[in-house]
Structure 1
């Protein structure tokens, strides 16, 4: 594959991320672009991750509607290499199973499971946006006897990863706003480049009227909405980039903190901007942990970092506490969650709250419904 072809593929992915597609369509069209550049076996495996915990919230592979339970058990309970969250949070953000095993993956339970499905090689990449948040991952596979994934192919995916992550983030936001789930579901506004309101989802008027200087009845949009829309449009002035999602946090008239997300949409040369309004939550995992296990605020912080794969030393540095204090918090967390180790903690939280969402999203994909990016609370 020539360097021109790879550059052209990057341009097409950049354009794709600006179209405001639903997540499944975005993955499907991204797969069509990537496949000629990086030939692979069995279809691309796409994942969304909860940025707060780096646990999987959805999986999509057009040739595999359901992720095998054994794969999830290996991912969260087995001591192995090339795991999705580990690769995603690594500085490089991409690796192959052959690389991390020195060319001999035969002792890896992950490789053994892949071989049962016909895949010898595995390339994993994290989808980290330019802002640093990890919103997804990608797995590509090759049959025995195929050429190894090369340096140029890995670099291609690394270069595309921020845009793919941005596209996934937008698709999740649009999906949650267009198909509300619960009373505090986000609201969605679509504005023209002339700042005229084109469309809005049902119920968005309550968000607009509650923002300072907003009046839905008279058609006056809050200055915060116009500001975040302007930021989004300015960030996408370059024709070759999708632009970043602009974010603003605003105190509403009723005293609730609200978050606004602005993202440009480009279709048939027409540029618009989507503004999504939702209540400001702490990291999504936090209220879930508090309700399910009664963890204190500091215990929630420690748990979130354990889920992300941080070491005791790293947790201590991040939270500005001693390693001994981290261990004391872990002891309390283990008692409250009924586990005996970090690995058990990760597995318990995933299979209790995230695996049900993965299965729900698989059903949603089949039914052509928007996928969700947060764990289930029940």
Structure 2
């Protein structure tokens, strides 16, 4: 087994555990440091899968993300932006590649040089089903070897694991520090599939699952099935979607735990709900449902032709929708629309998460409000 294969196995184990987000990034960084050399520190991001806009960052040693970097990401015409890489077919690229080997004309490269870096590699953290939950930025100093094919193949291989780990970490954070109704719950089982501990509110979720009886100590079949798959550790996705007694869909995620040699498993239960940004867009700008759909695709970087294919309408119809959206949002272009949505609905969450990291509290996903 090669060093990169061993590192990939370690990433898989780290990402499968029910960790908080910062711990996940720290442990993944430790593995990466021995597999893909980088300058200073990796830049870890979470993104909202519904919009591909940033919801948090973690740069060890940089508690606050410079405002000018956010403005460059969402207001400039520069290349190699997170949305461009994460929605690309490969899901990974370097700044040198996208500039034909000469990044000197890129403001992004000049900002990197001011920080002591030169090369920039961005990796989209995309699950096997295509949902983007984050991104990773790695850097190298001037004069260092270019990121090579083997390193890129390794990063591409571990990206789905890291994406699933980020999704799970956000859920664990919401379950252990719930913000209100609709928050997920967490139940930890021992190796005999008996309840070891729970988080607030999970009893209501368990009671809503079919064929269980929490009062009598009988867990729902869906919980036991997900827990068993997680403990097997054979690569099977430990997840299930179940129609509850009340008629809503609940999603269950299982993750094995290392508890001082004892076999334990965490099962996270979350109510399935539509992306939070969609109702916010309709309320904030008075959009119709079709205008909402067009806006969501604009946020993800889709072109007019791509939007037309996705929504099965003509490009002319898309342009008419865009004109109405721009009028309602008070903007003049797609870029202005993306910036308006980010700085209104996502930057408050982004900045709040910086404070949460500083106070060792769970990071939140999705937009604010």
Report the TM-score, using the length of structure 2 for normalisation: 0.94
The offset of 1:355, in angstroms, is: 1.1
Query: Bigger shift: 307-316 or 190-199?
Result: 190-199
Contact kept, 8 Å, 1:231 with 1:262, in 2: the verdict is no
Secondary structure at the residue paired with 1:266? strand
Alignment match, 2:98: 100
The 8 Å contact of residues 209 and 242 in structure 2, kept in 1 or not, is answered as no
The equivalences for 1:1-378 within 5 A come to 4-233=2-231, 236-237=233-234, 241=235, 243-253=236-246, 255=247, 257-267=248-258, 270-377=262-369
The alignment partner of 2:16 has SS state of coil
Gaps of at least 5 residues in structure 1 are none
Distance 1:321 1:101 in 2: 34
1:233, CA displacement in angstroms? 4.9
Q: Provide the C-alpha distance between the structure 1 equivalents of 2:120 and 2:62, rounded to a whole number of angstroms.
A: 16
Assess if the C-alpha contact under 8 Å between 1:264 and 1:271 holds in 2: no
Q: Distance in 2 between matches of 1:179 and 1:137?
A: 24
Q: CA RMSD in A?
A: 1.8
TM-superposed CA distance for 1:249, in Å, is 4.0
Q: Distance in 2 between matches of 1:288 and 1:225?
A: 33
Given that 1:232 and 1:263 are in contact with CA atoms closer than 8 Å, whether structure 2 keeps it comes out as yes
Farther-moved stretch of structure 1 (41-50 vs 328-337): 328-337
List per-residue Cα deviations over 1:166-216 (Å, max 9, x = no partner): 111111111111110122211111223433222111121222223333433
Whether the 8 Å CA contact 1:122–1:142 is kept in 2: the answer is yes
| More moved, 193-202 vs 74-83 | 193-202
Provide the secondary structure at the position in 2 that maps to 1:199: strand
TM-score by length of 1: 0.92
Q: Is the 8 A contact 1:224 1:250 kept in 2?
A: no
Mapped to 1, the partners of 2:132 and 2:264 lie a distance apart of: 26
Write out per-residue CA displacement over residues 229-267 of structure 1, whole angstroms, 9 at most, x where no aligned residue: 455456x32xxx5x53513042432x4x23222222131
The answer as to whether partners of 1:315 and 1:326 remain within 8 angstroms in 2 is: yes
Alpha-carbon spacing, 1:307–1:247, altered in 2? closer, same or farther (3 Å)? farther
SS of equivalent residue, structure 2 residue 216? coil
Alpha-carbon distance in 2 for matches of 1:232, 1:250: 21
When residues 217 and 31 of structure 1 are mapped into structure 2, their CA distance, relative to the original with a 3 A threshold, is same
Q: Please give the per-residue CA displacement for 1:125-176, whole angstroms capped at 9, x wherever unaligned.
A: 0011112111110001112222222222222211111111111111111111
CA contact (8 A) 1:229 1:246 kept: no
Write the distance in 2 (CA, Å) between the matches of 1:121 and 1:266: 37
Q: Check the 8 A contact 1:364/1:370 in 2, yes or no.
A: yes
Per-residue Cα deviation, 1:302-335 (whole angstroms, up to 9, x for no partner):
1111111111111111112222221222122112
What is the deviation of 1:10? 0.7
Three-state SS of the structure 2 residue aligned to 1:371 is coil
Find the aligned partners of 1:194 and 1:319 in 2 and give their Cα distance. Answer: 49
Answer whether contact 1:50 1:373 (CA < 8 A) is retained: yes
Within 2, Cα distance between the matches of 1:296 and 1:252? Answer: 32
Aligned-pair CA distance for 1:11: 0.9
Aligned 8 A contact 2:95 2:121 in 1: yes
Q: Quickly say closer, same or farther: Cα 1:196–1:96, change in 2 above 3 A.
A: same
